[in-house]
């Protein structure tokens, strides 16, 4: 099911900035943001006691899988790596690991969030962006022959946003 445009724009702060929140009682960080903290002994104590928190975007691969049978709309990207990335702030995020050959992804690989084009929706061509992860440190190796790279950024796009 497609995300409504209104909902998409309401979610912009967390989609584009990795904006979560932190419980002022126990200091646990959440992404996406929550309104009640399941870590506090009495959940009602956390109501109204959250503060915005900016995740760094840094992390390391905790677990991953290589997808060979894609979901609809991702046919051009196989094989691709889908990983659980543990952040130093606490939350574990799910995301695609890009700019590296799938066989070079390993548990413990340091990665950083980057914002890329995810898809276009509807006849108006609304472009949805989100985060993916790229390796940090050593340069990523070249993709093996036959594996399609991510497409180039859309004309007029700025920053690191690309599919």
Give the range of the structural domain holding residue 72, as residue numbers without chain letter: 58-135
Pair (25, 69) in one structural domain: no
User: Nearest 5°: phi and psi at 103?
Assistant: -70, -10
128 inside domain: yes
Pair (70, 94) in one structural domain: yes
Check whether 157 has a pLDDT greater than 70: no
Pair (96, 131) in one structural domain: yes
pLDDT tens per residue, range 8-64: 555 555 556 788 999 998 899 999 888 888 888 666 777 888 999 999 999 999 999
pLDDT tens per residue, range 95-139: 999 999 999 999 999 999 998 877 777 777 777 778 899 999 744
Pair (76, 110) in one structural domain: yes
Look at 43 and 142; give whichever has higher pLDDT.
43
147 inside domain: no
158 inside domain: no
95 inside domain: yes
How many domains is the chain built from?
A: 2
In this prediction, residue 154 has a pLDDT band, given cuts at 50, 70 and 90, of: very low
114 inside domain: yes
Is 0.75 topped by the overall pTM? no
Secondary structure (H, E, C), 5-71 = HHHHHHCHHHHHHCEEEEECCCCCEECCCCCCCCCCCCHHHHCCCEEEEECCCEEEEEEEEEECCCC
End-to-end Cα, the chain, rounded Å: 20
Pair (27, 63) in one structural domain: no
- 86 near 62, Cβ under 8 Å? yes
pLDDT given for residue 42 in this prediction: 65
Pair (124, 63) in one structural domain: yes
How many other C-beta atoms lie within 10 A of the C-beta of residue 138? 10
Pair (115, 88) in one structural domain: yes
Pair (87, 43) in one structural domain: no
41 inside domain: yes
pLDDT given for residue 55 in this prediction: 94
Helix (H, G, I), strand (E, B) or coil at 117: strand
Check whether 140 has a pLDDT greater than 70: no
1 inside domain: no
Indicate the DSSP class of residue 85. Answer: E
Pair (131, 90) in one structural domain: yes
Alpha carbon 102 to chain centroid distance? Answer: 17
Pair (119, 93) in one structural domain: yes
Q: Which helix (H) or strand (E) segment is 119 a member of? A: strand 110-121
């Amino acid at each position: 099911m497609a995300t409504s445009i209104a909902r998409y724009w309401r979610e912009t702060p967390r989609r584009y900035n990795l904006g979560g929140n932190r419980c002022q009682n126990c200091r646990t960080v959440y992404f996406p943001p929550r309104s009640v903290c399941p870590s506090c002994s009495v959940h009602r104590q956390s109501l109204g006691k959250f503060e915005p928190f900016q995740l760094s975007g840094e992390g390391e691969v905790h677990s991953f899988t290589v997808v060979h049978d894609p979901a609809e709309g991702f046919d051009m990207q196989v094989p691709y790596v889908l990983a659980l990335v543990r952040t130093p702030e606490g939350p574990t995020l799910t995301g695609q690991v890009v700019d590296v050959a799938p066989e070079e992804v390993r548990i413990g690989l340091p990665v950083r969030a980057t914002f890329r084009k995810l898809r276009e929706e509807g006849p108006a061509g609304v472009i949805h962006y989100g985060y993916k992860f790229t390796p940090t440190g050593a340069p990523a190796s070249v993709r093996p022959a036959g594996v399609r790279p991510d497409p180039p950024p859309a004309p007029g796009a700025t920053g690191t946003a690309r599919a």
